Amino acid sequence: MTEHELLQAAENAARNAYAPYSGFAVGAALLSSDGVVYTGCNIENRSFGATCCAERTAFFKAVSEGVYDFDAIAIVGGKDGDFTKLCPPCGICRQVMAEFCSGDFKILLRDGEKVQTHTLSGLFPLPFSL
């Protein structure tokens, strides 16, 4: 699975976004350590706080199937079918990533024609812990 293939899987997932309130579609493709891809999209709700982000959808799908080890996630987002602009994960999703992933977990983002490769520790250096 190349970076571009993982980003393409995220874009495909974004096309399933349920985002009638923001009009902002997000897709994520989460690569498990055994090479399986779990995709997710954002799922909004008329009670806005009940919305689930694309990244958490992907994580919760995987974890609910007993998968806990992950190597990377690709994230894309945008309006009107344009998924080329930078779409970094929100703080809540970073905290969820920190629950399951170590600091070297890779986060792939589109930036126009380029790909940005981040680590979880770079984007979220001091996660909450009990």
User: What residues are annotated to the active site?
Assistant: 55
Q: Do strands 114-119 and 37-41 pair parallel, antiparallel, or not at all (unpaired)?
A: unpaired
Question: Residue from 44, 58, 74, 124 that binds ligand THU (CB under 6 A)?
Answer: 44
Question: Helix, strand, or coil here: 120?
Answer: helix
Q: Is 39 in the site for ligand THU (CB under 6 A)?
A: no
C-beta of 53 vs 120, nearer to ligand THU:
53
For position 22 contacting ligand THU by CB under 6 A, the verdict is: yes
Place of tokens 């998968």: 67
Could you tell me the end-to-end alpha-carbon distance of the chain, in angstroms, rounded to an integer? 35
Q: 49 to 78, contacts with ligand THU by CB under 6 A?
A: 51, 53-55
Shortest Cβ 93–ligand THU spacing (Å): 5
Binding status of residue 24 toward ligand THU by CB under 6 A = yes
DSSP 93-116: HHHHHHHH--TT-EEEEEETTEEE
